[in-house]
């Protein structure tokens, strides 16, 4: 069975602070994919990143960075120099090779205080 845990239900930080959102996953498969999505107040989930289980290199995209560690089954997401527009609910998700089903975590609501 697959499971994604986002232990942080809500986080608030002051604008320009860095913030890390945690994601821990469980799967018995050796080939799997991890995703992060952002859900702003408008409701539409926005795809941020897709990473496969064989690629443990950290990735940076502008102010966003992701730290994938198979040893701890974690795929954490860091926003550097946060901005008010980063306020949203962020979801981590997992899918196995050959399976289009995404297993989502319960999400972390991030509020950036101006």
Partner 1 sequence: ETGVTQTPRHLVMGMTNKKSLKCEQHLGHNAMYWYKQSAKKPLELMFVYNFKEQTENNSVPSRFSPECPNSSHLFLHLHTLQPEDSALYLCASSPRRTSDPHEQYFGPGTRLTVT
Min dist. Cβ of residue 63 to partner 1 (A):
20
| The binder of partner 1 chosen from 90, 103, 108, 110 (CB under 8 A) | 103
Residue pair 78/13 in contact (Cβ under 8 Å)? The answer is: no
Rounded-to-integer distance, Cα 69 and Cα 58, Å: 9
Please tell me whether residue 25 binds partner 1 under the rule CB under 8 A: no
Closer CB to partner 1, residue 13 or residue 48?
48
Please tell me whether residue 35 binds partner 1 under the rule CB under 8 A: yes
Task: From residue 48, give the alpha-carbon distance in Å to each of 36, 74, 114.
Answer: 5, 17, 23
| List of residues contacting partner 1 (CB under 8 A) | 4, 33, 35, 37, 42-47, 50, 52, 91, 95-107
């Amino acid at each position: 069975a697959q499971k994604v845990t986002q232990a942080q239900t809500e986080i608030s930080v002051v604008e320009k602070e860095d913030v890390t959102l945690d994601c821990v996953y469980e799967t018995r498969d050796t080939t799997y994919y991890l995703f992060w999505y952002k859900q702003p107040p408008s409701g539409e989930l926005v795809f941020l990143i897709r990473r496969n289980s064989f690629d443990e290199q950290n990735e940076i995209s502008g102010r966003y960075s992701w730290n994938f560690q198979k040893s701890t089954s974690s795929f954490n997401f860091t926003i550097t120099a946060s901005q008010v527009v980063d306020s949203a609910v962020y979801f981590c998700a997992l899918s196995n090779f050959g399976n289009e089903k995404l297993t989502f975590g319960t999400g972390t609501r991030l509020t950036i205080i101006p």
